[in-house]
Each structure stands twice: as C-alpha cells, then as structure tokens.
Structure 1
C-alpha cells in the first residue's frame, strides 16, 4: 500500500478526533452539503504533525487532500448504510464499553498504587507463611475461631521459632505451612504482598486475612530485583539447502576474530543474520528477566558481569549467538514501565481500592444524599423468608416513592425492591435486617452510579467523546475499504493479470552477482587473498593459507548476492573478475565476481503480492475520483488561508 494511503488510514483510525459541535463554526470545506469545520481540521493536523514521516504530508494543501478524501469515504460509507450494520454497531458498542473502563478510575488513587507497585517490583522478598483456611463468606462464629487459631500459632512461633511451628502444623487441608521462596510485586494477592513487604526481615507479621483465610508471614530476606540488561549480539542461522555453510563453524571463526581484538559492532554489521539489529552493530532493546522467549539467551545475558564482557558462542532455537554486555540496570525507569504497571494494577486486587475511590467520587459528583427513611422502610418489610430465598414484596408496597436520584435519572422504591428479590437468589448468611439492607443498598447504589456514569460518559468527558468518535469513523472506514477496494481487488483475477501486463516494467529482479566476498580487518591480507582468487584457488585452500585454528583473518561469503546485500559496498562495480579492495563497515572486502546477473523480469507468480497491492492502490485512486464527482467538495479559500496563517505562527 502506498505511503499516502497508509497515512490516511493510520491517522484516521488511531488519531482522528471529530467534533462536529465545535465552538468554532468556521466552515473549511463542504462534502456534498455537509460542512467540515476549521477547528476539526486544525485539531487533526496538529495531533498528527509529529507522527508524519513524509515531509510532503506536513504541507497543509497535501494534508487537506488526505482529509477531504477521508471525508468523501465516510460520506459514501453512510450512503451505503454501513453505519447501520449489526456487526459494526456491535463492535463499536464493545469498544465503548472497554474504553470506558480506562476513564472510570480515580487517577490519584491509581497513581499512588502504581508508584507503590513500582517500589515493590524493585525488590524480591523471601518468606514463609502459615495459613488457617477460611471461606470468604464464613459466618462470624467461624471467622472468630479461625482468627483465634492463627493468633495462637503466632504466639507459638514467637516462642518456639517459626520454622518449627510451620513444619509441625501443616496438614494440607485446614492449615498450610509453606516455604514461598523469593517473590516480587504482583506475584501474590495484594493483602499478602502488603503484609510481606511491610514486615521487617526476621519478623513475623500480625495476622491478616485474604480470600483464602488468615495468614502470618515470616520474612527471611529482601533483595534488589534481578533488573534489566542491554546487550548486542551476533546471530547465525542454519541456511537450509546450503550444504557448504556451517553456522557453528562460522560463529567460532567470528569469536576468534573478536578475541583477536576486532570490533564487535563491525562484525555484527558484516555477518549477523538478525537483520533487525545487524545494521545497529547487533544492539537489542533493553529487557528484563522473563521477558525473552529464549531462556538460554536470557541466562547468558544475565550471566555477563562487567560492561563490555563477551560470551562464548552458544546455541538457542533461533540459531548460534555471541552476546556482548553494554548496560545493566536494577529495574527499568519508572516512566518506561508506568503504562504496563497501570494495566497490572487495574487487573489486580488493587483495583478494588480504585473502584471504591471511584464510587466515592461519583457520589460527590452526582450529589447523592442518604435516604435513611427509605432504608428503615425496607428493614421493616424484610423477614426470614429472605434467607430461604422466598421473600416477596408486600401487597401494600410503596412502589412509586422516590429513592435516590443519579444525574437526571430518578430511582424509586420499586427499583431497589426488585434488586432485593433478584439478589436473594445468592447465598445469604443470616444477619440483622439492618445490616442486610445496608449492604444491599450500597451494592445497588454503586452498580447504578457506575452504569449511569458509563452511559453518559460521552456527554461528561470530552476526551472520551473524541476517542469514541475517532474509533467510530475508523471502524466505518475499514468496513468501506474492505468491501469496496481490498476484497474486490483480491478477487478480480482478470483485472490483476491485466494490470501486471500493463506495468511489467515495475516488477523486475535487481542486478545480482554470483560471487565470493572476502572480508578482513587487514587490507594487506586481502591483497594476498585477491591474488589467490585470481589463480582460481579453492576457498578451502585459501582459508588454510590465510587462517589457522588459533587465528581467523578472513571470512568468506559466497553465492547469489544482490546489490542490497550487507556484504557489498554501496558503490560496488558489478563486473566479472576480481574487484578492487573496498573499505566497508569498518573493515575491508574484495569480491570475486563469477557472473553478473542483470535485471530480469519477474513472472506474475513471482510478483503477485506486489501486483495485488499496487492494483488496490490503482483502484482506490480511480474510486476517489468517482466519489469527488458524486459528492462535490467546495473549499472555503478564505478559511484555508486563515488555517495556513495559524499553522505558520505556531
């Protein structure tokens, strides 16, 4: 897909924020009879300015073309009724629900929990514990018995020693005494983690409760976490079908050159098969323990002690490697992993604290007033049938009395009464009526506060509304492009074949050579190699003359090589024979060209992927012309000049 088309989809789907009800009503252009406002264009332009790689797209006129094309497509999508498709509406609804979750949190509470989480993942705790099991819905009598038991065990542990008591009382059924080893933040339930991190080394915690029961923890040690490493590597992979190439032999040759003092980065650029890192001297992004899929690689990287240390060659499922250590950190910087921590906090037990903070905030926002009169009324009509799950509202029930108002929505006694009937199906421990009504009303109020806020979030939160709008239009555009261009182009076999015939000159193999490339740090050595190649000496013989078991001066690469290959200099002269010696990637190379393979025409099957992509772009360009005729675009030139002046002065 061409850059212009890609950029059009990219900024629309991910960054476009549409707000037709803008404060500024200056019309920049119309599509058909539908106005598009200056403020909308400026917001989109400024939002995406730093993301645009092609300088031409920063030109206002060029950007306006993309924007008008986008509006034309949306106009067509609505005309085709794609915005009414059940699948589209369902996808949009699901997205809004998921997005709302990230907006319906108390940011101050979240930030505090995230900072705490960062502090805790900075350390590992080694601890043992004793647990007295207790169901989360246990009655008060059983809860008191469990609490007394854990208190007695703590008193014993303080006198007799934690390990002795732990080993004696463990039965694997009602009491557990376990060695936990080292763990960090997010590895245990939140209450357990908090108790462990807040207990000093050597101490035994006070009893605390989780969903599993009552615990005491004995903290044995605390240490800094394993941290983060930054390394570079040289990787060689097995080339299937090439019986002359042995990656294990070559990696050992490269390792000898490193030990001889040759530059690691230069060797990575010349020989590493990891194309994503070779051009950067083999440098990889920083990683922490457990992040990599290759455990062998991670163990070697963390085993390097000093900056600059280089590993011996080793093998993983990906190939053969040599690793060099560039940096090591205790843990990543807070800002680098903040977003990851936020997501973990939201999925963790910590989220309950965030939910509580949200509810308290919404109560203030909607000015919720306690209705004690209503709660007293419901206490008076409750009876023991509720514990049998057969309770019903009385015949003289005050159904229409107002209970609580959230925003513009009034809830009545009926709403809470129905909630009580519905929730009596859940197991309910026998408790005072006052306690039951209080707990049920709190749940009822919290659920409805959150639901009302979510349902009205677009009206109450401008940023949320913008993001929903951008997704709404991006999804609609995807539906349109898929049905109108992408799928149609893929299935139009006759059209694709015809396009290939009319544009065959665009589908050719580049110039290539059948060659042997010799690489060395020493120009003098390559002069010797050059003379031996002129004599057509076999490569094995040349290797035996210029290399030895203890020293590798030259590495050879042979086969069909194109002009973009990493071993060839950019200014290489494609002609048969022995080349001059070139300086390349901080080393020297000489090339024996056995045969020059000129540009050759690709068959349709060889070029099919590129042809389909180009054909899609071709169809889209013609389609845009048709839409321009169908929906006339009229630009307000005065408004456009104002836009340009405003952007120029930014």
Structure 2
C-alpha cells in the first residue's frame, strides 16, 4: 500500500537507533525551539550509509539538507496538530497493537513451535474431515462430540464418500476432501490432529474454534519441495478474434516438438506478460502455494529438469509448463526467521501468550484478592443468559481484584468485563462457576498483557525506537497527503496549466501497427515474406507452409510500442514488408501497416505523469515556505567536528 511504502522510505532515511546511542548531549541544530543532538544526526547518517545509493547524499552537507527538510516537515505536521487527528491516532494504535504482538512472546515456546513447524513442513498430508459446527464460546459440547463420534464410526463401516452423500449439508455438518496440505495451512489444533493420525486411520473427535472434527488421513508424503518452472500461456480471452486458444497452444507445442526454443516461444507468444519477458520463468513455488492445483500437479509431475508438459487447461488459459529445477526443503537455519514470523501470526500464538503470561507472573509483583470469584458467583442471575444482566449498584467498584506492580485492577473493571462477555452465553446453559472462572482467567491474561504493552516503551528500547519511527513516518504521510498529494490530484486547473506549460514532455513512444510471421527456420520465413509481398492473406500462407504434422509458421498482429520484447530490437520502422530478422532465437518478417507518430499525449492520456510532476513542483515551493516559517540554527563548530569524526 502507498502509506506503508512511504513510511518504510521515511524509516530507511531517518530512523534513530536509541539502543546504540552514546552519551552526547551536544546540540547540532535547533528547528525553532526544538533541539536536535549531534549524536542523533550521526546515528542517522551512519545507519543509512549502506542504504543510500546516491553518492552525493553521503556528503555530510548534502545529507544534512535532507535531514533538515525532514525535521521541518515534522514541525509543520505538529503545528497543524495532525498528531491529534482521530484517524492518525487510530492508525498508530493499530500498528502499535500489531507490533506489540511480536514482543509479547516467550522465546522457549516459540523455539519449540518453530522446530515443530519445520518438521511438519517436510511432510504433505492428504486428508478429509468431518465437522459438526459449534459456537466457539459454547461449553455444552457433548452432543456435538457424540455426533462426530457417531459419524466417525459410520465412516469406519461404510466409507467416507457414502456417509458424505447422506449427511453433508454445508451448514452445520461438513464432510470435505481437503487435498494435500502441510504446516500453516490449517488451524493449529487441526494440523496437530492430522499429523498425529496414522495414514489410513481417522482420529477421535477433537475441538477447534469451528466445532468438533474428526480427520481421516489418506496419505502422507515427503514435501515435493520448491519448484522453479517456466510456462507458456494462451489466455482464454483473446483480443485477436482470429486466435483460438486451444489451437494456438497446440501450434506452439508442435513447434516445441520440432526443436524450437521454449524460451523463445514464451517471449514471442505467451500471454502472461510478467513471465514472457523472462522466457516464461516463474517465481519458485511450493505445493499448495498457487491458486491452480492443476498447474501445480502438472509442474511437479515433470521428472527431470528441462522436461516439458503437454498442453493443459486451467481456469486462466491453456499452458505448457517446463521444469527448470526442483529444490528440496531448505535447512532449518535458513528457514527459521520466516517460520518464527508465521508462528507468531498463527493460532499457535495462543500457546505463546500462555507462556508469556507465566513469564510475566514471575517478572512482576502481583497481589491477589481471594474473595472475588465467590462474590461474582453470588451476584450473577438468570438475566446474564438473556444478555440483560447489570452489575448491582451495591458493588464496591474500586475494590482491588488484583494488583500488578503499581497498577490496581478493580471489581468494577472485572464486572464490566463480565457484562461485555454475557452476549457469548445468550440462551446457554452453563454453570455460573465455569463462566466466572473462565472470565477471571481471560481478564487476568488481558490485564497483564495490557500492562506489559503499556509499559513496553519503558521496558524495551528496541520497541520504543521502532514505535517512534512509525509514529513520525505516519505523521509525515498524513502531512504529505494533505499538503501535496491531494492538492496536486484535485487541483484540475493547476494540473491543466502545468500540462500546457510542459506538454512537450508528454509524448507517446513510437508505435507500429503490424502483422508478423515467425518461425524457427529462416527458409520458411523467406517463403512467407515472398507470399506477403504478393499480398497473400495470413490463412493462405499458414495453409501453404504448415501441415497437420508440422507447425512451421505462426502469425502475430496488433499495435506494439517500438521497445516491445516481441519486436526485433533493430527493427527498421518503415511501412511495408520488412527484411527477415533474427530475434528471440527465431526468424521473423513483418508487414508494417502503419507507423504511429510520437504525438503529444492529451491531458487525460498524460494525467498520471502530470500529477507526479506537478506534485514535485508543489513540494519544492512548499518546502521553501517551511524554510521561511521555521527558523533553523545550525552550530557550525559542532558540524565541523561531525565532519572530522566521519572522515576519521
């Protein structure tokens, strides 16, 4: 997203690493009355040396100018009170909450879960399952458990498919084939049950947030690894009405069997533009990673590097896939960082939270009041199960329920927590003692984690640093959006005036309207050229040069820019029949119908580029205004010492 890209850019150039800060109170500059320390500037400069590709920005004076502009923008944002804006606060709190999760974890449990996830990533499971849906908060689960147990017994006797035909309704009872999956594809409890169930067996019923399941494991196989493949795709929908996708892919496949280069044909004919320019090469992928099971199965079915599939159809088009290489699962050390991130985002995080709470109990000074559960058991009435219970007026709301360090949590807070929780128990028949016990545990966990979160900036310097980076970056994004980006995009009169002033900068690239005949054999293209010169139509040329067994020639036609990868780089842009060109490891002749000139684009055609350029002009003028509004005082003697340090 635009906002996150912008903030990352800000962080890359102007972050401050407080963890490595040295004790240096020397002031380098003041922006109005705000002091900025020399050590701060040095940390920013040194930290980002490797990120700066422009050598001129490594010069202290040049970098100082960027740093001053950054500080001016921050001061302007605060002057406009953008840091008090409700939307800004919400976005910042959302990020803070997300970041906090990474610090509310217990390392030993995380390490165990990461190792387990790695082991499971090496095994693909093919399974089906039974699910009887159940509300996540429901405690009266015996009926659902017994229903799954009965279905499990029927499956053992009758078979999965027969029972599925009889009971699956897609609403409350599900019997589904899941195909192959591995770690992180299912919720953790389901994944664990599947990996613990032997092949050919069906598990006993188990609970997830969706209800009760039983999982039938049909197969376990070693991971198929990560495959790098290339493909040629002919889309099902074609702009050229004369192209029949299935026929075109068969023509290409014929040329492959005749010895034409896969990469050359992909560059010339594939409709997947993102891969065509690279000879059809795709990014590496694992089983279950693509949206097309058919494509994955075809790719992984190829036994050797260089093997090519027969044409096959998916929801996206007709394909031919080539195996480039197949890599087994990488070693644990290499995958560990990405696995840690996934574990913390996964349902496994509940286990990490539990471990973290236990660790915080040891870290903090906690005092408990022992009579609270008994008291709340006594005041909950039947109205609670109608979602209409209210705390009695007689409750001592300020009475301590427990205390964490210097913060007291009260009866009133817990009563409010119970009041909010009652909607989960609407029309349920659950003993009050169970409700209070569960609510107390949830309230304590949320309270101690919230206490950790609220104090994290004081307890963890790294967290404080990252949070400051995002706070400032988000503030600058809002400022730039308000002062520059929105103004530029919405100022139609200003945009048009800028366009009129600079319209010579906005031109179409030269384009050509052409028909091109392509073949791996030069003599075939020469024959095609002679027939084209005699004004023979494409279908007649194809019929003359191709046979049912041999696909010698393929035609391409349309309007292309001069730098299109399909066109020869040294193409002479002259109307008429061209010479024979060698390009993309094949031979081509073109019938150039028309050369479309490099006309100036209309305002609407150039609008995107005009907006970008207009934004740059507005920002330059705006920065000049900020330099006039705020005083900037730089202490030259301090700057000189910084230059000496950097050179040393």
Q: TM-score range by the shorter chain?
A: 0.7 to 0.9
Q: Secondary structure of the residue that 1:230 maps to in structure 2?
A: strand
Alpha-carbon distance between aligned partners in 2 of 1:102 and 1:629, rounded to the nearest angstrom: 42
| Structure 1 gap ranges (5+) | none
Residues 355 and 506 of structure 1, relative CA distance in 2, 3 Å threshold: same
Name 1:194's counterpart in structure 2: 192
Partner Cα distance (2:118, 2:185) in 1:
13
Q: What displacement does 1:11 show?
A: 1.2
Determine helix, strand or coil for the equivalent of 2:125. Answer: strand
Single out whichever of 523-532 and 266-275 deviates more from structure 2: 523-532
* 1:113 pairs with 2:106: no
Aligned equivalent of 1:73: 73
Secondary structure, in 3 states, of the residue corresponding to 1:600? coil
Task: Provide the C-alpha distance between the structure 2 equivalents of 1:135 and 1:240, rounded to a whole number of angstroms.
Answer: 48
The match for 2:263 among 265, 290, 308 is 265
Using a 3 Å threshold, how does the CA distance of structure 1 residues 328 and 557 change in structure 2: closer, same or farther?
same
Match of 2:280 among 265, 282, 302: 282
Deviation at 1:564, TM superposition (A): 0.8
Q: TM-score, normalised by structure 1?
A: 0.78
* Per-residue deviation, 1:232: 0.8
* Aligned twin of 1:36: 36
* 1:622 Cα deviation from its structure 2 partner: 1.6
What TM-score, normalized by structure 2, do the two folds share? 0.78
How many pairs are equivalent? 628
1:39-58 alignment runs, 5 A limit? 39-45=39-45
Instruction: Tell me if the contact between 2:128 and 2:217 (Cα under 8 Å) persists in the aligned partners.
Output: yes
| Partner Cα separation in structure 2 for residue 440 and residue 352 of structure 1 | 16
Question: Aligned match of 2:290 in 288, 292, 297?
Answer: 292
| Pairwise CA distance, 1:281 | 1.1
Deviates more, 1:384-393 or 1:439-448: 384-393
Q: Which residue of 1 aligns with 2:156?
A: 163
Change over 3 Å in CA distance of 1:67–1:522 after alignment to 2: farther
For residues 538 and 383 of structure 1, the distance between their equivalents in structure 2, rounded to whole angstroms, comes to 90
Shift in CA distance, 55/247, structure 1 to aligned 2, threshold 3 Å:
farther
Structure 2 residue runs without a partner (length 5+): none
**Pick aligned residue for 2:351 from 350, 353, 370:** 353
Match of 1:124? 125
> By how many angstroms is 1:71 displaced?
2.2
Higher mean Cα deviation, 83-92 or 328-337? 328-337
Query: Structure 2: how far apart are the matches of 1:645 and 1:473?
Result: 30
Displacement after TM superposition at 1:501 (Å): 1.2
Q: What is the SS of the residue equivalent to 1:233?
A: strand
Whole-angstrom CA distance in 2 between matches of 1:236 and 1:213 = 44
CA-atom RMSD in angstroms:
4.9
Where does 1:545-584 land on structure 2 (aligned, <5 Å)?
545-584=544-583
Q: Distance in 2 between matches of 1:135 and 1:234?
A: 47
Distance 1:303 1:647, change over 3 A: farther
2:607 is the counterpart of 1:600: no
- The CA distance in 1 between the partners of 2:577 and 2:257, in whole Å, is 30
Structure 1 residue 322 corresponds to structure 2 residue 315: no
> C-alpha displacement at 1:316, in angstroms?
3.9
Alpha-carbon separation, structure 1, partners of 2:155 and 2:532: 77
Structure 1: how far apart are the matches of 2:313 and 2:298?
11
How far apart are residue 611 of structure 1 and its match? 1.6
Given the superposition, is the C-alpha separation of residues 500 and 379 from structure 1 closer, same or farther in structure 2, using an over 3 Å criterion?
closer
What SS is found at the alignment partner of 1:508?
coil
1:519 aligns to 2:518 (yes or no):
yes
Structure 1 pair 645–264 and aligned structure 2 pair: CA distance change class (3 A)? farther
1:394-451, Cα deviation, whole Å (9 max, x unpaired): 99x999887754233245788778878998997896699xx99987765554332111
Alpha-carbon contact 2:264-2:586 (below 8 Å) kept: yes
Q: 1:645 to 1:316 in 2, by over 3 A?
A: farther
C-alpha separation between the residues in 2 aligned to 1:36 and 1:611? 37
The Cα shift of 1:452 comes to 0.9
| Residue in structure 1 matched with residue 475 of structure 2 by the alignment | 476
Pairwise CA distance, 1:123:
3.2
